[in-house]
Structure 1
């Protein structure tokens, strides 16, 4: 599972940024344009609100589960979720969790 979660972590960065980097090069870091385009219609707003809720749930899960089993560096997937998205933060946390569970099993 480690390799699966590792691969998904990499894809979780690359695929979203394949769209975001060209957008940044065209529009710069203009938050007003970003918010306008993100909420341009109801389906866009629906998708963004869904992602925001998923990110909040994920961060709560990272904090709870990370503390419960002693995952080190749990701040990294939190930062990854906030800077890239759930597509990166979730598989990265699951990778760190898998590594910690293997360590617990070997002890």
Structure 2
């Protein structure tokens, strides 16, 4: 895989954007998680989880935000699966499963960083994609062909 030090131009800027969003998300969401755990430490490990689920679904406003996040997580998960197959990104399941454990902003930012590195690796000296990633149509997704990896330069 291409290293960040080898990436230039737009790809490098996007890598930094995705990496910064993941890092900022980790700091912000980590700080909030630690504060919640400290505030609920007397409830024990199971109690912290129980309190979190109760607090996050207490009223209609929190239920709205919680359900929106769950639906976004599902949509982003589908996107990550398709793009992961398209660019040959391994362990996509870890980004999806890690989202509720860490935070969606962190795992999505990391996925997008890895995706951009894969795209940068496919560019030739003229800045053109050496192997075009095929656009996926609704029919390809429905018949499962969108979930098969596109051959890359390394596999040809």
- TM-score, length-scaled by structure 2: 0.62
Are 1:78 and 2:91 matched, yes or no? no
What is residue 44 of structure 1 aligned with on the other side?
Answer: 62
Runs of 4+ aligned structure 1 residues displaced above 6 Å come to none
Deviation at 1:102, TM superposition (A): 0.5
**Pairing 1:16-55 to 2, within 5 Å after superposition:** 16-28=29-41, 29=45, 30=47, 31-55=49-73
Q: Which residue of the partner structure matches residue 90 of structure 1?
A: 108
Between 1 and 2, higher relative CO (CA 8 Å, sep ≥ 6) is seen in 1
| Residues 38-96 of structure 1 deviation map (CA, whole Å, 9 limit, x = unaligned) | 11111001000001111111111111111012123434422431312221122111111
Ranges in structure 2 where 5+ consecutive residues have no aligned partner: 1-13, 125-129, 131-156
1:62 paired to 2:80: yes
Per the TM alignment, residue 27 of structure 1 is displaced from its structure 2 partner at its CA by 1.3
Number of residue pairs matched?
107
Structure 1 gaps, min length 5: none
Question: TM-score, structure 1 length as denominator?
Answer: 0.88
Deviates more, 1:88-97 or 1:65-74: 65-74
2:143 — aligned with what? none
Higher helix share: 1
Secondary structure in 2 matching 1:5: helix
Structure showing greater Rg: 2
CA distance in 1, matches of 2:83, 2:111: 10
